[in-house]
Structure 1
Amino acid sequence: MSEKDFQDENNHTEENLNEANSAEEISTEEQLQKQLDEANDKYARLFAEFDNYKKRTSREKVDLIQSAGKEVIAKLLPVLDDFDRALASMENSPSVESVKEGIDLVNNKFRKTLEQQGLKEMDVLGQPFDAEYQEAITTTPAPSEDLKNKVVDVLEKGYFLNDKVVRFAKVIIGQ
């Protein structure tokens, strides 16, 4: 083989290697582009799923609040019916005593229904004043020494709902 033939063949081999390297680079770029496209697609789907999740949980929260109110109202309807019956019986009843008994029964039923829903009345009369649960409206001279800085009268009862204050008690404190 002559030197010229050897160089021609050598040049031909280098061209083949360059073409192979170029094809390999294109293949690597295509793979990287494909991976990037897949990652972008995955990101877009994940973002859409999260957005849908936020919307769904927001709707569920609103539905839960509305249905919780519906539950309480449904449990209070029998008490409303009892009040209607009591009002109707007051018009026809000659005895005030039977009306008082009926109203007492309805009141007890109403309070029991509220207690079942988690409502609890604050017992503050005669207790030391506590600003976390009570609102002092005014002070008055204490009737006895042991009632100083204690609640001597309750103007408006306070209530807890599942151990959280729903309404503070409005009280008068002895000085």
Structure 2
Amino acid sequence: MNNKDQELQNEANNDNENKEHNIDEAAINFNADDSLSGTTHLNDEMANEEIDRFQELENQLKESNDRYLRLVAEFDNFRKRTAKEKMELTKTAGEDIVKALLDVVDDSERAAKQMESSEDLPSIKEGINLVFNKLKNTLQNRGLKAMESKDQDFDVELHEAITEIPAPTEEMKGKVIDEVSKGYFWNDKIIRHAKVVVGK
């Protein structure tokens, strides 16, 4: 083989090596591009998932806020309605008692006129007792109840001691000997403590 043939052979070998090198680079670039494309695709999916999750949380927050605002509004309406009903009930209850007492007032006026024109003391006493009993019954029918204190054990929850006196008997020590003014319950609630004299 002469020099010229050797040179041609070398050029052919170099061309083949260059082609193989170019093919390897192309393959590497292709693989790299494919890998980058896959990563980009994966990043896009993750970003979309994050956006969806954010939107879901945002919607949940809006729903929770709406529920909270509705509850606040409902509670405020309930509070106003209850206060109004309580006020109306108090007014109605007072009005009911006053109406019931008007009959007693009428009887009292008639008894007063009777006392002016009559000197029949037993008749006057009877009239006064009738008016008093009517007053008591009217109040009792609407929840008023007198407290029974005399001869009972002294109780600071029920009684107010005005004074103490020596007990007439040993058994009366620490008990109510006398009532200065009666105590009263209104529908089982104490509205006035009994003022009492206690034995010591």
Q: 1: distance between equivalents of 2:30 and 2:198?
A: 117
After superposition, residues 127-146 of structure 1 pair within 5 angstroms as 127-142=152-167, 144-145=168-169
- Report SS of the residue matched to 1:152: strand
* TM-score, with length taken from structure 1: 0.77
Match of 1:74 in 2: 99
Question: More helix by proportion, 1 or 2?
Answer: 2
Could you tell me the TM-score, scaled by structure 2's length? 0.69
> Where in structure 2 are the equivalents of 1:95-174 lying within 5 Å?
95-142=120-167, 144-145=168-169, 148-149=172-173, 150-174=175-199
RMSD between superposed Cα atoms in Å:
3.0
Distance 1:25 1:75 in 2: 74
Per-residue CA deviations over 1:59-79 (Å, capped at 9, x if unaligned) read 222222222222222222211
CA 1:170 to 1:39, structure 2 compared with 1: closer, same or farther past 3 Å?
Answer: closer
Q: Is the 8 A contact 1:147 1:174 kept in 2?
A: no
Change in Cα spacing, 1:5 to 1:121, as seen in structure 2 (3 Å) is closer
State the structure with more CA Rg: 2
Cα distance in structure 1, aligned partners of 2:164 and 2:63: 73
Instruction: Tell me what 1:46 maps to.
Output: 71
C-alpha separation in 1, matches of 2:39 and 2:177: 106
Number of positions where the alignment pairs a residue of Structure 1 with one of Structure 2: 174
Contact 1:159-1:165 within 8 A present in 2 as well:
yes
User: Percent of counterpart pairs with the same letter?
Assistant: 45
The Cα offsets for residues 59-104 of structure 1, whole Å up to 9 and x where unpaired, read as 2222222222222222222112211222222222342332221111
1: CA distance, partners of 2:181 / 2:159: 10
Q: Is there any run of 5+ residues in structure 2 with no aligned partner, and where?
A: 1-25
Question: Which secondary structure does the structure 1 equivalent of 2:162 belong to?
Answer: strand
Q: Is this contact kept in 2: 1:126–1:147, CA < 8 A?
A: no
Is the 8 Å Cα contact of residues 126 and 151 (structure 1) preserved in structure 2? yes
